[in-house]
Amino acid sequence: MNAPKRSHKGLAVSAAITCQHVCSLLSKKNLFLTFDDTNGIGTARYLLEQALQNTGWTLKYCETFYEADGVTEKVRSLKSENKRGAYLLISDICKLFNARPVFDGDDKSVTVVSLNRYDSMMELNFGKNLDGIERKEDASNIVTRLYVEGEYGDHGYVGIDDVNPTGLPYLLNFDYFRSLGIFTPMHEQALADYLRDIATAKASSSTTITQLLQLENQLNELWGQIDYVLYVFDGNHLTRTILGGDATEADAVQGDEDEITLILPDGTHRRQTGWAIGEPVDYVVKFLKKPAAKIGGREVAVESKELSIESLRKEYAKTADEAKKADILAQIATLEEGIAAIYAGTEDDPGLYELMRTAVELAVQHEDVRLEYQASLSSQQEIENRFAMAMGDMLIDGYWSNTDYAPGQEELLYREACEVMAQLSKPTVTYSASIQNLSCIGGYELERFEIGQ
The CATH number of residue 192's host domain is 1.10.287
pLDDT, tens digit, 9 for 90 and up, residues 141-156: 899 999 998 877 666 6
Query: Taking residues 419-448, what's their average pLDDT?
Result: 75
* Residue 403, in any domain of the structure: yes
pLDDT given for residue 170 in this prediction: 93
268 vs 333: CA distance, rounded Å:
21
Lowest-pLDDT choice from 46-55, 80-89, 120-129, 396-405: 120-129
256 vs 82: CA distance, rounded Å:
67
Work out the burial of residue 244: count CB atoms within 10 Å of its CB; fewer than 13 is exposed, 13-18 middle, 19 or more buried.
Answer: buried
Q: Do 263 and 131 have their domain in common?
A: no
pLDDT, tens digit, 9 for 90 and up, residues 365-382: 999 999 999 998 899 999
* Residue 442, in any domain of the structure: no
* Domain termination residue (choose one: 139, 155, 174): 139
* Residue 421, in any domain of the structure: yes
252: domain range?
227-289
Percent residues over pLDDT 90 in the chain: 59
Q: Do 349 and 410 have their domain in common?
A: yes
pLDDT given for residue 3 in this prediction: 81
Structure-model confidence comparison of residues 431 and 94, the more confident one: 94
If pLDDT is split at 50, 70 and 90, which confidence band does 449 have?
low
Q: Do 303 and 413 have their domain in common?
A: yes
* Domain termination residue (choose one: 139, 165, 183): 139
If pLDDT is split at 50, 70 and 90, which confidence band does 115 have?
confident
Lowest-pLDDT choice from 171-175, 216-220, 319-323: 319-323
* Residue 443, in any domain of the structure: no
242 vs 258: CA distance, rounded Å:
16
SS3 string, the chain, reads CCCCEEEEECCEEEEECCCCCHHHHHHHCCCCCCECCCCCEECHHHHHHHHHCCCCCEEEEECCCECCCCCCECCEECCECCCCCHHHHHHHHHHHHCEEEEEECCCCEEEEEEHHHHCCCCCCCCCCCEEEEEEEEECCCCCCEEEEECCEECCEECCCCCCCCCCCCEEECCHHHHHCCCCCHHHHHHHHHHHHHHHHHHHHHHHHHHHHHHHHHHHHHHCCCCCEEEEEEEECEEEEEEEECCCCCHHHCCCCCCEEEEECCCCCEEEEECCCCCCCEEEEEEECCCCCCHHHHHHHHHHHHHHHHHHHHHHHHHCCCHHHHHHHHHHHHHHHHHHHHHHHECCCCECHHHHHHHHHHHHHHHHHHHHHHHHHHHHHHHHHHHHHHHHHHHCCEEEEECCCCCCCCHHHHHHHHHHHHHHHCCCEEEEEEEECCHHHCCCCCCCCCCCCC
Q: Do 298 and 284 have their domain in common?
A: no
Q: Do 281 and 360 have their domain in common?
A: no
If pLDDT is split at 50, 70 and 90, which confidence band does 446 have?
low
Query: Taking residues 233-248, what's their average pLDDT?
Result: 91
The residues with which 428 forms a beta bridge, in sequence order, are 138
If pLDDT is split at 50, 70 and 90, which confidence band does 109 have?
very high
The residue type found at 132 is G
Q: Do 167 and 298 have their domain in common?
A: yes
* Residue 186, in any domain of the structure: yes
Q: Tell me how far the alpha carbon of residue 383 is from its chain's centroid.
A: 22
* Residue 432, in any domain of the structure: no
How many domains in the chain?
3
If pLDDT is split at 50, 70 and 90, which confidence band does 17 have?
confident
pLDDT given for residue 122 in this prediction: 44
Lowest-pLDDT choice from 168-182, 189-203, 431-445: 431-445
* Residue 453, in any domain of the structure: no
Structure-model confidence comparison of residues 218 and 127, the more confident one: 218
Q: Do 186 and 106 have their domain in common?
A: no
Q: Do 69 and 215 have their domain in common?
A: no
Closest CA to 313 of 334, 331, 299: 331
pLDDT given for residue 123 in this prediction: 46
pLDDT given for residue 335 in this prediction: 93
If pLDDT is split at 50, 70 and 90, which confidence band does 167 have?
confident
State the average pLDDT for the chain: 88
pLDDT given for residue 153 in this prediction: 65
Query: Taking residues 312-328, what's their average pLDDT?
Result: 90
Q: Do 279 and 259 have their domain in common?
A: yes
Q: Do 14 and 92 have their domain in common?
A: yes
* Residue 446, in any domain of the structure: no
pTM (2 decimals)?
0.61
Query: Taking residues 171-177, what's their average pLDDT?
Result: 95
Q: Do 100 and 23 have their domain in common?
A: yes
* Domain termination residue (choose one: 104, 139, 174): 139
Q: Do 208 and 236 have their domain in common?
A: no
Query: Helix 294-318 crosses helix 352-391 at what angle (to 10 degrees)?
Result: 150
